[in-house]
Structure 1
Amino acid sequence: MNNKKIYFKVSSVLWLIWGFVHIMAGVITDYAILNGDIVGAVSGIADAIDPNSLKANYPNATGAIIGQHGFNLLWIGVTTFICSIFIWKGNKNAILLAILTGGLADVGYFLFMDLGGYVRFAPGTLMTIVSSLAIVSSLIGLSKNKQQNY
């Protein structure tokens, strides 16, 4: 097995993990919203915030917005999970799609949740590191692929 394939396989496994975690986060978030538990849904994501400080009489639109967020976590997780299968073989389109969906989702998470101080280190911050490593690994694999084609 040449080096470029190793990078694709590492990236594939990382995206598989990332996708699964986000599928589960989407399901858990939407389950809470569908059961009227806005505080549970928010505190499951913003784990550095005391859930008691979140108790309020929220308008229905608040639950809908958080439910949309849960749905976005779900579909982005499914997309990167599927991409991971094709990244295993070094598919450039799958790499690009995973970077655009999972990578950009984590940029938003980092900017608003991590830098905002609303989360502890794990699991969200850990998933940002996982997606970053997946991106770097696949890009190294692609660059080695170009070098070997010359």
Structure 2
Amino acid sequence: MKDLSLLFKISAILWVFWGIVHIMAGVFTINFVLSDDISGAISGIADAVDPANVQRDYPDAAGAIISQHGFNLLWIGLVTLISAFYIWKKNKNAIFLAAITGGLADLGYFLFLDLGGFVNFMPGTLMTIVSSAAITLSFYAYFKGRKATS
């Protein structure tokens, strides 16, 4: 049972790291839009795309959409960061909340940005690996521990 406790703690640490990165990404994305630099926000997200290819005059609605994306990054990062403290304590609800919010956010990232070829490995793809590892470790520890107690 002690081995499983270590898995919960590793998962929690991964979620803390993931959460902080996404909170920062959300703040940076919103800041770009507020600075009237929608092209910079897009280049920051789709970092494998030549910045010259996204330089144009965007309508205000595009800035609002990018800001919404930044807001989503921020709150999802906060939810996983808070969940991490409870995952450390082996809380089932926190395990599933982090997996649903962070996992589905990264699934969308993987499907549309990674597979689309719009991003470099660092930091986005690495964060997808981090969230996948955090989910795998916490699920394994939770279900293995549950099986051992039944």
After TM superposition, the score normalised by the length of structure 2 is 0.98
The answer on 1:145 being equivalent to 2:145 is yes
* Aligned-residue offset at 1:3: 1.3
Counterpart code for 1:110? F
* Structure-1 residue corresponding to 2:69: 69
Alignment of 1:11-90 (within 5 A): 11-90=11-90
* Matches of 2:147 and 2:78, distance apart in 1: 32
Output the TM-score relative to the length of structure 1. 0.98
Counterparts of 2:100 and 2:26 in 1: how far apart (Å)?
18
Identity %: 59
Deviation of 1:114 (Å): 0.1
Give the counterpart letter for 2:68 in structure 1.
Answer: Q
What residue identity is the alignment partner of 1:126? L
Code of the residue aligned with 1:116 in structure 2: it is G
Note the aligned Cα RMSD (angstroms).
0.8
Once residues 96 and 36 of structure 1 are traced to their aligned partners in structure 2, the CA distance between those partners, rounded to angstroms, is 37
Q: CA deviation digits over 1:91-114, x for unaligned, max 9?
A: 000001000100000000000000
SS in 2 for 1:47: coil
Gaps of 5+ in 2: none
Q: CA deviation at 1:147?
A: 2.4
Aligned partner of 2:122 in structure 1 is 122
Q: Distance in 1 between matches of 2:140 and 2:5?
A: 10
Task: State how far apart, in whole Å, the 2-side matches of 1:57 and 1:39 are.
Answer: 9
User: What stretches of structure 1 move > 4 A for 4+ residues in a row?
Assistant: none
Which amino acid in 1 is paired with 2:103?
Answer: G
SS across alignment from 1:142: helix
Partners of 1:56 and 1:44 lie apart in 2 by: 15
Q: 2: CA distance between counterparts of 1:56 and 1:21?
A: 28
